[in-house]
Structure 1
Amino acid sequence: MTGPKAAGPGGQGRWGDLTPRILSALVMVAVALAAIWAGGLIFALVIALCCGGMAWELSQMLAPRRSGLALQLGAATAVAVFVAGVLPMSLGLALLLVPVVQGWLQVAPTAKTRFAVFALWIVLAGYSFIWVRSSLGADWLIWLAVVVVATDVAGYFAGKTIGGPKFWPRISPKKTWSGTSAGWVAAALVGAASAPIFDMGFSLVIASVLVSMASQAGDVAESALKRQTGVKDSSGLIPGHGGLLDRFDGMLGAAAMFLFLFTFLG
């Protein structure tokens, strides 16, 4: 496996990463749609493997000289998420804490809090996706993914073409206000187009924008972690996108917001 890439200036042009990004995105979309359509244990396995990969990347960033520990925590996370998905909720949630506590006990004292926060975020998001697919069906999961993808795509192209003031230059120097706001607009359009499918009105537009904001917050949080650990990408697993955390940080934030909206607002 490829570890985190060290930070450094890019030598490509403005659109130099577009082709590998598109090709990788097409593969990921195909895998995601096939897994969502299949549901059940196949979907749970795909989500668990993604969570295991993200936990491996997280461990690599926080404990770069302990590759054995990273593999151990990645495997433990994948197993915990997969098994938790088929257990009753109380037992499943308790099992998700095992790799979090395991990593917290073994990483360096200076990295304990960051590991615990991000690891807990990863396992809960993974469990949430499995729960949404099994309890609410594929429609809501596809809506959630489309909102995040639309936010990311609109933000990428608006940021590249329009540019302008940076959103948070100290944490995420590539993100602009134009790209951020374009993501909100794209999410609102997805919500408006999806409202008739779910027999909902303007509330779904608002929910879509909130999910979009949460996905962007997830991206910023992961960017802050990379700045603190001095890496450019969480890994090199996905050409043009970096690692799993780089690609799915927005989905982690979106999952958290969706569960909040569903739990407290229905």
Structure 2
Amino acid sequence: MLILLPPSEGKAADGSGPAVDLAALAFPELAKPRKALMAELGRLAKGRAATALTVLGLSPNQAAELEANRDLATAPTLPAADRYTGVLYDALDLPGLRHDAPEAYARAEARVLTFSGLWGVVRPTDAIPAYRCSGGVTLPKAGSVAKLWRQALTPALAPVVANGLVVDLRSSAYAAMWRVPADVADRAATVRVLHERLVDGVPKRSVVSHFNKATKGRLARALLVGDVAADTPKELAVALQDLGFRTETAAPAKPGTAWTIDVVVDSVA
């Protein structure tokens, strides 16, 4: 089983590890685009702040976040498990697993892939510096980050998705960086989280960021702690129900596309 996650906009600052070693990161064949993006983000951060903020989709109040991109090649690092913070990663709590449930953390090392606008994909143990680059940006030189990574990740990920279930918890910006191949679709499940509430006595569903991220973090953690061994989307849906999640499963709308599993939460989730 592979569990695909988005990164978090929020990241732990600083770090205690040595500078990033591109050859030591998972999927070292991605070193060339990683190096090019690091260089462009560094140039952008050292240039006109207003331009950098616009390109990266940041507000003037977020200007301090540009500093992380200035010296990416020499900045101190942290494992991705510690670098990514925010609602999803707080609920997943990889550092807690590492301390309290080492077997579950070992499963995370093997099964969790975090997609990143800068790194493409990383595993929890990959040592990376703080940075700011979402998967939806278009850079002046590199162009669309999503397109760049789609071209690089398609061959890079082919061996790791050749067998087993793919559980896709990514947001749309990161789903655009790698699309489930048609020959993998029958064993891939896109998981959506829907918030259900009563409006004038009628159930209404919507996507609410907090519920979405927190539930995905809890779900990923439950799969790792429970050592769930589902091989198909249907088996995954049953396993999630056994773990206490309310699920609804939909078969692919057309051949070559992934299954959909909706996890429904209410206001007290």
TM-score normalized by the length of structure 2: 0.28
Higher helix residue share: 1
Q: Per residue, is there more strand in 1 or in 2?
A: 2
